[in-house]
């Protein structure tokens, strides 16, 4: 997936801005806004129905989800952990500066591989010492005599679809899911996001707030 050329980007940006200006002038002329005609009442079940919750989790697992920006993992060895889709996903920047994503699970006994997002080029499971490179390949197997006949090439980390585009990183939480086409997924909104030049963004501060609350209520309220 390639970004548009500088000339194409400038042309599309001007067209997008012209569309926004026309829409604004039309609203001013017609004395209207984008507000709905009346308040929207949302059923309580939207937030608390367990069956709906499971359906949503399954749906989110199959669609591309934004997990971070390029600036969150700028250098080879940088890592990012994401657990909003269920099983924790590990995003890494490889030696070739590509983005890869894996289930953060050791293929030996399903222990967690990475718990601290440092810049190390090797990832070692604390349970039995299995070690993997940034491509997810098994490169260290203590006690090899106990694994005679095991093909190391088939014991790498489990990959999940991932794509980096426009300074954004998307994953699909299903290891068997299709590759991610970010522009197709975003549709007409893709050009609007390109205007933000998110590839130039860098983290200013990391913080975490722990609270006992309905996840959707907190997200809808505070985004």
* Residue 114 pLDDT > 70: yes
User: Would you state the torsion angle of the CA atoms of residues 151, 157, 161, 164, taken in this order, to the nearest 10 degrees?
Assistant: -120
For the stretch 124-141, pLDDT in tens is 998 889 999 999 999 988
Q: Tell me what the mean pLDDT of segment 138-160 comes to.
A: 85
How confident is residue 4, by pLDDT bands cut at 50, 70 and 90? low
Q: Could you tell me if 141 and 76 lie in one domain?
A: yes
Q: Could you tell me if 104 and 9 lie in one domain?
A: no
* Residue 208 pLDDT > 70: yes
For the chain, the average pLDDT equals 89
For residue 167, tell me if it sits in a domain.
yes
For the stretch 36-76, pLDDT in tens is 888 888 899 988 899 998 998 889 889 999 999 999 999 99
- Whole-angstrom distance, CA of residue 181 vs CA of residue 162: 10
For residue 205, tell me if it sits in a domain.
no
How confident is residue 2, by pLDDT bands cut at 50, 70 and 90? low
Q: What is the reported pLDDT for 156?
A: 94
**CATH number of the domain enclosing 120:** 2.102.10.10
Question: Which among 140, 149, 134 is positioned nearest to 101, based on CA atoms?
Answer: 134
* Torsion sign across C-alpha atoms 87, 60, 79, 153: positive
* Residue 22 pLDDT > 70: yes
**pTM tops 0.85, yes or no:** no
Domain that holds residue 185: 64-198
For residue 50, tell me if it sits in a domain.
no
How confident is residue 3, by pLDDT bands cut at 50, 70 and 90? low
For residue 22, tell me if it sits in a domain.
yes
For residue 49, tell me if it sits in a domain.
no
Residue 127 contacts residue 144 (beta carbons within 8 Å): no
Q: Could you tell me if 26 and 71 lie in one domain?
A: no
H runs (alpha helix) in the chain: 6-30, 45-48, 50-62, 182-186, 189-194, 215-222
User: Would you state the torsion angle of the CA atoms of residues 95, 96, 99, 103, taken in this order, to the nearest 10 degrees?
Assistant: -50
| Structural domains counted in the chain | 2
């Amino acid at each position: 997936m390639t970004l548009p050329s500088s000339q194409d980007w400038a042309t599309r940006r001007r067209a997008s801005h012209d569309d926004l200006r026309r829409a604004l002038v039309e609203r001013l002329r017609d004395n209207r806004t984008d507000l709905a005609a009346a308040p929207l009442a949302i059923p309580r079940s939207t937030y608390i129905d367990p069956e709906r919750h499971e359906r949503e989790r399954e749906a989110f697992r199959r669609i591309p989800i934004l997990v971070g920006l390029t600036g969150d993992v700028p250098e080879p060895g940088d890592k990012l952990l994401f657990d909003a889709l269920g099983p924790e996903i590990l995003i890494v920047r490889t030696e070739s500066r590509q983005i890869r994503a894996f289930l953060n699970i050791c293929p030996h006994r399903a222990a967690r591989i990475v718990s601290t997002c440092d810049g190390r080029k090797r990832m070692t499971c604390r349970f039995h010492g299995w070690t993997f490179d940034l491509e997810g390949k098994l490169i260290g197997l203590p006690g090899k005599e106990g694994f005679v006949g095991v093909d190391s090439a088939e014991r790498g980390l489990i990959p999940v679809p991932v794509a980096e585009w426009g300074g954004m990183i998307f994953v699909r939480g299903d290891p068997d899911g299709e590759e991610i086409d970010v522009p197709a997924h975003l549709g007409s909104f893709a050009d609007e996001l390109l205007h933000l030049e998110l590839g130039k963004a860098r983290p200013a501060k990391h913080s975490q707030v722990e609270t006992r609350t309905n996840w959707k209520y907190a997200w809808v309220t505070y985004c």
